A and B are shown apart, each in its own frame.
Chain A
Amino acid sequence: MTHLVVVGASLAGLRAVEAVRRDGFDGEVTLVGAEEHLPYDRPPLSKEYLAAEECPDPRYREEETFAGDLDVALLLGTPASALDTAGRTIAVGDRTLSWDGLVIATGAHARTLPGTEHLEGVHTVRTLDDAVALRAALRGGARRLTVVGAGFIGSEVGAVGRKLGLEVTILEALETPLARAVGERMGRALTHLHRRHGTEVRTGVAVEEVLSSDGRVTGVRLGDGTEVDTDVLVVGIGASPATDWLDGSGLTIDDGVVADETLAAADGVYVAGDVARWPNALFSDVAGGTMRLEHWTSAADQGGRAARHAVDPAAAKPYETVPYFWSDWYDGRVQFVGIAPEGADEQIEVVAGDDAQGGPFTAIYRAGDRIVGALAVDMPAEVMKYRRLIGGRKTWADALELAEQRRVQRAQKQAAKERGEGA
C-alpha cells in the first residue's frame, strides 16, 4: 500500500486521513474535496451558526496541519468525476490520480425544489456557503420565514427563525413530521415543541408553486390553493447521496454506495459517511437489510474504519454501531439513539416525563424482545445510558429495569436538592 486517496473532505474524509496517520501509515495520502473549504463542522450550520452574533470559525483543522503533522496532500475545489476500480484511478477535473486504497466519503447534496434554484430568498442548508447566505438573509431584515419540510434541518432552522424574532411557518407533506425517523406518536410529540414556541406547523400540505416577483421569492401556493407569503424560503426536504460521479464505475448504487459489513464496496474501495449504505449487524435480527445514516457520529466513526480497512484490507472487521443524532430546537435538545422500527408506535414506552406537551420526556423503542432505540427531549442524562443497552443487545426487561433505576435516582436527586435549598 503506497497511496491512499480519500474522496470527500468533510468529517468522514478528515477522520479517514487522521486515523491512518495516527496508526503510523507512512504511504502517500491525498484528500479530495469538491468544495474549496478545508473540512468544517457542519452540525452548527443549521443551529447556532445562524443565530450567533459572531460566527465562529467552523474549520476543524488549519491548513498547516494537513501539510505538516498529517502530511496529507489536499486537492480542494474540484469534485471527483469518475472512478475506475479495475485500473485503480479516479478523475478529478483534468487530473487522474492512481490509488492503492480508496475511501469514498462524498456525502450528500441537499434536495431542492426544481426551478427555484436561482430565485433570491430561496435557501438550502448543507454547505458553509449555504449557511453564510441564509444567515445573511435571516438577519437582513426578513420578517417572515417559511420552511418546506419539518425534518430535523427544517425544524432547527425554524427554531432559529423564531429566536431571531421572525414569523415562522413550517410546511410538511406528511400528516406527521418525522414519522419515519422517530415513529408517529413521537413525531407528534416533537411537533408540540414547535407550536409551544409559536411556530406554525402545517402538515399534510403540498407545495404547488413557489411564487416570485422580479427574481425574488414572495411566497408559496399550496395544494388547496391557499398562499403563504414569505421573505425567506428554506427548503429542508432531505439530501441525496452524492453518487453521480460513480456512474459506470461498476459499484452498486442504491440510495448510496452499497458496501459489505466491513464497508467494502469493491476490492480496495471502502465507503464512509452519508454516502455509505451497509448492513449494520447490530440490528440484522430486527431490521434486516442495509442502512444509510446521515449523522455526525457515524460519519466520524466510519471515516476512521474505512481508511484503516483501505490501507490494510486483510485486517478489515465488520462495522456495527448504535446510530446517534441530536437536534437543537429553541433552547432544548432532541436526542435519539438506535433505530425506530417500522410501525414503532405500539412498541414505544414513555419512561420519564410526558410527551403530550412536547417534553421533557424520554421514550424507549422495542423490537422483538430487545430495546432498539431511545428518544429524549430535554433530558440530556438519559439516552446514552440506553445506548449502552442497545449496543449490548440487551432485552426489553433490562431496559425497563434501567428506566426504574433512573426514576429512583432522579427522585432522590430532586429530594436532595429540595432539602439543600430548604436548609
Chain B
Amino acid sequence: MRINVDWDRCTGMGMCESLAPDVFEVDDDGSLILHTEEISADQEGEVREAVAACPTEALSLDGPIDA
C-alpha cells in the first residue's frame, strides 16, 4: 500500500506525525517529510488514522484495500 500526499493541500499541521511518527514528520519550516511511501501491514492502522485526521484532507492511500 502506498501513501499519497497532495502537496498543494498539506500545510504541515502535523496530526499525521502524532499518529504515525515513523512515516510522517513535520520539519522545522513546516514542510512535511515523508519517511517512506510504501506502508507495511503493521503500519496500516496508524496510517489510516493519520489519513482520517488530516485537517486539510491532504493524505490518501493507494493499493489493496482490506475489507
Contact = CB atoms under 8 A, between A and B. Distances in A.
Q: Is A bound to B?
A: yes
Interface of A: 15, 24, 43, 60, 296-297, 300-301, 304, 322, 324, 326, 333, 335, 337, 379-381, 383-385, 387-388, 391, 410, 413
Interface in B25-63: 25-30, 52-53, 55, 57
A116 B55 CA distance: 33
A300 B53 contact: yes
B67 A24 contact: yes
B57 A60 contact: yes
Interface of A is mostly: helix
A15 B49 CA distance: 13
B13 interface: yes
B21 A388 contact: yes
B52 A300 contact: yes
B57 A381 contact: no
B14 to A, nearest CB: 4
B15 A324 contact: yes
B53 A413 contact: no
Contacts of A413: 28
A375 to B, nearest CB: 14
Given A384-B18, A387-B18, A297 B28 contact: no
Contact of A380 (B14, B18, B53, B67): B14
A297 B30 CA distance: 19
Given A380-B29, A381-B30, A384-B26, 16 more contacts: A15-B52, A43-B55, A60-B57, A296-B55, A300-B53, A300-B55, A324-B15, A333-B30, A337-B18, A379-B28, A380-B14, A381-B25, A384-B18, A385-B18, A388-B18, A413-B28
Contact of B13 (A15, A304, A326, A391): A326
Interface of B is mostly: loop
Contacts of A385: 17-18, 21
Interface of B: 12-15, 17-18, 21, 25-30, 52-53, 55, 57, 67
Contact of A381 (B28, B53, B55, B67): B28
A191 B30 CA distance: 23
B53 A301 contact: yes
Contacts of B17: 384-385
A380 B15 contact: no
A391 B18 CA distance: 9
Contacts, number: 51
A18 to B, nearest CB: 9
A380 B57 contact: no
Contacts of B67: 24
A137 to B, nearest CB: 26
9 contacts: A43-B55, A60-B57, A326-B55, A380-B14, A380-B29, A380-B30, A381-B25, A383-B14, A384-B26
Contact of A304 (B26, B52, B55, B57): B52
B57 A297 contact: no
Contacts of B25: 381
B14 A384 contact: yes
B26 A380 contact: yes
Nearest to A383: B14
Contacts of A380: 12, 14, 26, 28-30
A379 B14 CA distance: 11
A379 B26 CA distance: 10
Nearest to B12: A380
A43 B15 CA distance: 15
Contacts of B55: 43, 296-297, 300, 326
Contacts of A383: 14
A60 B13 CA distance: 18
Q: Which of B12, B15, B21 has the most CB of A within 10 A?
A: B15
A205 B29 CA distance: 37
Contacts of A335: 13-14
Contacts of B27: 381
Contacts of A337: 18
